[in-house]
Amino acid sequence: MKKRYLFMLLAVVAMIISACSDSTGSTADDGDEKGGKKTLVFGRGADSIQLDPSKVTDGESIYVTNQIYDTLVRYEEENTEVKAALATDWDVSDDGLVWTFQLRDDVKFHDGTDFAADDVVFNFERWTTSAEFVYYGYMFGASEEDMGGIIEKVEATGDYEVQITLSEPNAPFLQTLAMPPFGIASPEAVEEHGDDYFKNPVGTGPFIFKEWVADDSITVTKNEDYFGEVAKVDEVIFRVIPDNGARFMELQAGTIDLMTGLNPQDISTAEGDDALQIIRRPSMNVAYMAMNTDKEGPLSDKRVRQAINMAVNKEELIALYEGIGKEAKNPIPPSLWGYNDDIEAYPFDVEKAKALLAEAGYADGFDITLNTFSNPRPYMPQPKVTAQAIAEMLKAVNINVEIIESDWDTHLTLTENGEHDMAFLGWTGDNGDPDNFMYVLLDKDNATVGSAGNIAFYKSDKLHDLLKAAQVEMDQDKRTELYLEAQEVIHEDAPWLPIAHTTPPLAASSSIADYIPHPTGSEPFNLLDMKE
């Protein structure tokens, strides 16, 4: 029995100890400055999958690899126009087939090896060795039979000159090369680490990879010898905090400095807190309702599609986005060059909509289906409620909507096969080129049943000619003109009801300065600073 008393005594002692440290175990100062070092702690919901950007497409991996790697060319800080990076200069032959890049001669990889033209060739060749290099295959049309896709050959034509030959002209080529998956890796590190390279990334970027504790944190440190602007913070720690609410509280407690994935109700809390700020990332996506123009019936009539555009009150739909959505009127987001802001959105006008329907012979309305998906998407947080709202609005013009909800994969199959009348879908841009939205989503080339990206099955020759011309036109100003006109054609024919572009919010401590979120989803943190 004495043992039991001893045990209880121990327990009491333990409790007293814990009570003591309870009040003294403060860690409030473990945030930004440790020994004069500036550390940025970035909180997010999930870990990276791989730190080899050429093999991944998830945002959490790209967030980190963006710090470590450079591409030949990169995007401007605030939009998707392209500027010099590892390549200082470039030109393209008149037929648009041969691109010549002049490279920097003062760059070293983080492992100390020199960067030169051979390294670029090595990387391009590596990307054609396996289907694992997802984005290479996707952007350059590679397949099992032709692993190179539209890139015919890549040669070093000098120590610091690379020539890339294409099999067909591709105007968005430069835009595509700016994408993070085409970051240049150190050939020596790739060969040394083999299958484990994704855990030991070596690039030329503003930060050097230091440590990865799986599911917990990734640390990168400042590259003092960076050829661009040297980072203002010494270290960035990417921390995984799965719960949105807990992550926001960590921001409030000061243990992290910047975070993604806010709960909607926390946005206003952060806005009302002097110690915090909300920073909005410009949109790179679009959510829309496609109307199947291929099916016999009302939707094949342009006037009906226009009427539907007028019968929907977008302001109410945007309210469902809880502060992260902006009304869309075009198929591309405003952050892209070539966005046509002169187009006037269809007004919300029930009477005019009714008149148009009557003109088309549908004064008494009609029955129709609307396909939607069950899980939220980045561009549509509440698909079902949005569908219900639209159904309610269309009732006012006697259109009776039946909602069909399915899981994401089924929804994709149904819509690719054109089994729908109307359907929700969205798109997040890849390379920031208007071609990547309009050609993929609205050109007649992509309206093949079974694999359609154009699920309105909208087949306009006029649009096709404009988009095709823009694909082979190398002059940026002329391309812009073509896309401005293309948006007018689309607006007039109204194959879609454009719904929204989302601007994902980030919350940050108010000490964060000069942080410019990029529309593509992530950016290097070398410009970001932390004030005292």
Q: Given the DSSP bridges, would you call strands 258-259 and 37-44 parallel, antiparallel or unpaired?
A: parallel
What span, in angstroms and rounded, lies between the C-alpha atoms of 311 and 357? 11
> Least distance (Å) from other proteins to the CB of residue 41?
9
Q: Choose, by CB under 8 A, the member of 6, 9, 13, 22 that binds other proteins.
A: 22
Element (H, E) at 210: strand 207-213
Query: In degrees rounded to 5, what are phi and psi of residue 334?
Result: -65, -15
What span, in angstroms and rounded, lies between the C-alpha atoms of 349 and 408? 33
Which one of 45-53, 324-332, 335-343, 457-465 is the stretch in contact with other proteins (CB under 8 A)?
Answer: 45-53
Given the structure tokens 């032709």, which residue do they identify?
A: 146
82 binds other proteins (CB under 8 A): no
Cα within 13 Å of Cα(35), Cβ side: 2
How big is the CA angle at 160 (ends 155 and 164), to the nearest 5 degrees? 30
Nearer to other proteins, 213 or 516 (CB): 213
530 binds other proteins (CB under 8 A): no
**Length of the chain, please?**
532
Strand ordering across the sheet containing 285-291:
325-327, 496-502, 285-291, 422-428, 366-373, 399-406
What span, in angstroms and rounded, lies between the C-alpha atoms of 496 and 331? 8
343 binds other proteins (CB under 8 A): no
Residues 199-228 that bind other proteins (CB under 8 A): 213-216
What span, in angstroms and rounded, lies between the C-alpha atoms of 120 and 128? 13
16 binds other proteins (CB under 8 A): no
Q: Choose, by CB under 8 A, the member of 89, 271, 367, 407 that binds other proteins.
A: 407
> Least distance (Å) from other proteins to the CB of residue 132?
8
Query: Considering all CA atoms of the chain, what is the largest pairwise distance in Å, rounded to the nearest integer?
Result: 96
Q: Choose, by CB under 8 A, the member of 26, 36, 347, 477 that binds other proteins.
A: 26
Number of other residues whose CB lies within 10 A of the CB of residue 190: 19
402 binds other proteins (CB under 8 A): no
How big is the CA angle at 456 (ends 455 and 461), to the nearest 5 degrees? 115
> Least distance (Å) from other proteins to the CB of residue 238?
13
What span, in angstroms and rounded, lies between the C-alpha atoms of 528 and 199? 25
> Least distance (Å) from other proteins to the CB of residue 373?
11
- Binding track over 175-204 against other proteins, x by CB under 8 A: --------------------x---------
408 binds other proteins (CB under 8 A): yes
- Cβ partners under 8 Å of residue 404, min gap 6: 369, 370, 371, 372, 420
SS3 32: coil
Nearer to other proteins, 17 or 230 (CB): 17
> Least distance (Å) from other proteins to the CB of residue 257?
13
What span, in angstroms and rounded, lies between the C-alpha atoms of 152 and 526? 35
> Least distance (Å) from other proteins to the CB of residue 262?
15
Q: Choose, by CB under 8 A, the member of 4, 296, 344, 477 that binds other proteins.
A: 4
392 binds other proteins (CB under 8 A): no
Q: Choose, by CB under 8 A, the member of 239, 281, 314, 491 that binds other proteins.
A: 239
Q: Choose, by CB under 8 A, the member of 6, 9, 13, 15 that binds other proteins.
A: 15
Q: Choose, by CB under 8 A, the member of 79, 252, 382, 476 that binds other proteins.
A: 252
Nearer to other proteins, 98 or 412 (CB): 412
Q: Choose, by CB under 8 A, the member of 240, 286, 318, 500 that binds other proteins.
A: 240
**Cβ–Cβ under 8 Å, residues 296 and 330:** no
Q: Choose, by CB under 8 A, the member of 18, 265, 268, 510 that binds other proteins.
A: 18
Given the structure tokens 């945007």, which residue do they identify?
A: 318
> 302-311 and 350-359 helices cross at what angle (nearest 10)?
160
319 binds other proteins (CB under 8 A): no
Query: Per the structure block, which two tokens stand in for 451?
Result: 């694999």
| Residue type (1 letter), 250 | E
Residues 128-167 that bind other proteins (CB under 8 A): 131-132, 134-135, 137-138, 143-144
> Least distance (Å) from other proteins to the CB of residue 332?
17
243 binds other proteins (CB under 8 A): yes
| Interface with other proteins (CB under 8 A) | 1, 4, 8, 11, 14-15, 17-18, 21-28, 30, 34, 46-47, 49, 56-58, 131-132, 134-135, 137-138, 143-144, 195, 213-216, 237, 239-243, 245-246, 249-250, 252-253, 255, 407-409, 428, 430
